[in-house]
Amino acid sequence: MNQPLQNKYIFANQIKTVCFLSFMGLLVFFGTLQSPFLYDDTHAIVGNPHIKDLSKFQEKVGIQNIFNRSILLLSFAINQDIGGLEVFGYHLANVLIHILNSILWFFLVAEILRIEPKANRNWNNRLPIICAMIHLVNPLTIQTVTYISSRSSLLATFFYLLAFFIFVQIVKPERKDESKYKTPFLVFGLLVVLFLGIATKEIVASFPLLASVYLWLATPKEKQKTLLPKIAGILFLLFAFLMYRYFQQGNLFSLKADPTSEDTHRMLYLLSQIKVIVGYYLLKLVVPFSLNFEPDIVIYMTWFHWDWFVSLIILFLAGIVIYRQKSYLIKLGALWFFITLLPTSSFIPLKQLATEHRTYLPGLGFSLFLGCVFINLRDRQRITRTIFIIFILLTSTLTLNRSLDFRSEISIWEDTAEKSPRKALVHNNLAAAYMGAGQLEKAKTALEAALAIKPLQIDSHVNLGHIAGRQKNWEKAIEKFDFGISLGTKKSDTFYYAGLARNNLNQFQEAIPYFKKAISMNAFMADYHFDLANSYKNLKQFDSALKHFRKTLQIDPKHYKAHNNMGTIFWNLGALERAKIEFQKVLEIKSDIPTIHNNLAAIFLKSGEYENAIPHLENLVKLQPQNANARELLKFSLAQIK
């Protein structure tokens, strides 16, 4: 076959593969598109003031603030700009990124086949599609794809794969007809992609290590001694990142946003992670049953535990077996898995000891390893093909079935509570889901279960306060909120609701310190300023009230209640023109509020502007047909203009 025809054939096959993977991904993950916001989505997306206005994103976040995951937040801001808080758009984006990653993995595996000895390459032409399919329908990916906040892993993996693809092009043997600008251009592109990856999630920092491993495996043994300068240059990227991190964050291996990083014993955390890697991550990749949104795994308190030692022996024996076999691709797959796990499963303590979305990037290495296993069963091709088809159908079914657990907050937390019954956090989150559905008695039962496990769990006491608030038992609500505060809550919401409960008991002066504390912890929540302003308004401290109503509107320009309350203040002060302006702004945001039409009608009637009063009286009659006074005033106004 001549070269043009061969290229055309390859391109046609690639297009077919892309279409197949896209269709397969949409089919398997279609059921996740209406799953609700879960868990961290509340503060990362729903209540995040920094992503409300895409036009002000650079001002509020800034792309350069990589340790705030600026690229991830930008993706959420784009979602919100296009579709608000409609959950479909967020899920569609996640599914498409996952499909794109599988497609990119297909092309990358096709590129890295060259590290395999030439005698084996003819057998490996099906490896790219096999690896892509294994990753695409892997049941462990369901949490990453469906839990919207886990987009950090999806996007970081996309940039990781793209960077690796570019790197492979850079280290390819040069051809004589190639432009001299190709390598500098690719290096620049690689640095840009790595920046975007790091600004999505810091797991991308492992890239230089894996790139060095690939370069070593891709180089003939007789030339490997010449690689040291190149590997040093690659590892310099990691060194530069760590130095930048140290100067920006004040440390190398701790997270400011996670106090666990400082308080946890690093060596005990590392030993716990050895158990997690073997006893959870690898086990679930091989046998993906009984997946768990919040695994009940606790950190060791002492060194003397047999399971980490057994896990270490298993890893050691597996390492020997992999080292002795001849396939470089199998070696690369194994090293990919362990190297990409390093940022989350080593000596750097994180809040959650184990969570399935951390296997998303490492899972690519597992798919490469498993794909090579299928390919290398070459003596029994027909049986192997049948086993592979059964495997893909089984994993697809498991993925579809697992996606059903994410159809509601209640279903995912009921499933998690069943699998992690001894974890207080899980029962508390189940209670929060019940509260969201208005099932307060079930919520109380779940909170009692949480407190039976951990009597001083702050969130459970605070949630009991929320239930009391919904039942208008404000004294009980205050008791629970104050207890949560006394236990050392670090959540601004607890202070806010403690103030709000006092406002509802007309204890406006007592409420003010709680609102101020909430604002000091999070100054970008519109409702914090709004309810503080209400306290001042009820105390007749109108200047302070107006100040915080205006701050409310700076954060949320569509907060019509703030305009309304400002209008009421101006009304009480006799500044009717200013009151009229504020009431009219309310109607620009929300036009069906009877009180506003009533207020504007009263202002216009008082100044004799009957023609301007009539539209508001007509709207008032339409909204409140039983309002006899509005009918009389409308009749009177119509008579005045005849």
User: Domain extents for the chain?
Assistant: 3-404, 421-489
Please give the structure tokens belonging to residue 622: 């339409």
| Residue 350, pLDDT score | 82
DSSP state of 290: S
Return the pLDDT at 11: 78
| Residue of 277, 248, 164 whose CA lies nearest to 210 | 164
**Which residue in 555, 78, 547, 319 sits closest to 565, CA to CA?**
547
* Alpha carbons 512 and 520: distance in angstroms, whole number: 12
pLDDT given at position 379: 60
Determine contact, residues 458/466, Cβ cutoff 8 Å: no
* CB 300 within 8 Å of CB 268: yes
The helix/strand/coil state of 302 is: coil
Contact 234, 52 (CB under 8 A): no
Cα separations (Å) of 515 from 51, 488, 523, 546, 564? 23, 17, 10, 16, 20
Nearest to 551 by CA among 529, 578, 520: 529
Q: How many residues does the chain have?
A: 642
For 421-489, CATH number?
1.25.40.10
CB 145 within 8 A of CB 94: yes
Q: Tell me how far apart the terminal alpha carbons of the chain are, to the nearest angstrom.
A: 92
Task: Give dist(CA 423, CA 421) in Å, integer.
Answer: 6
Distance (Å, whole) CA 179 – CA 471 = 73
Which position has the token pair 């409420």?
A: 511
- Strands of 32-178 (E only): list them: none
Q: Is the pTM of this model over 0.85?
A: yes
Q: How far apart are CA 313 and CA 278, in angstroms?
A: 10
Q: What angle do CA 275, 281, 284 make, to 5 degrees?
A: 125
Q: What is the pLDDT of residue 435?
A: 94
Cβ 599 vs Cβ 583: under 8 Å? yes
pLDDT per residue over 549-565, tens digit each? Answer: 999 999 888 899 999 99
Could you give the 3-state DSSP secondary structure of residue 114?
helix
* Tokens found for residue 276: 């997690």
- Mutual orientation of helices 87-112 and 362-376 as an angle, nearest 10°? 50
Which residues of the chain carry a pLDDT beneath 70?
A: 1-9, 119-123, 174-179, 254-263, 378-380, 642
The pLDDT assigned to 597 comes to 86
CB atoms within 10 A of CB 493: 22
User: Phi/psi class of residue 574: alpha, beta or left (left: φ > 0; alpha: ψ in -120 to 50)?
Assistant: left
pLDDT value at position 154? 96
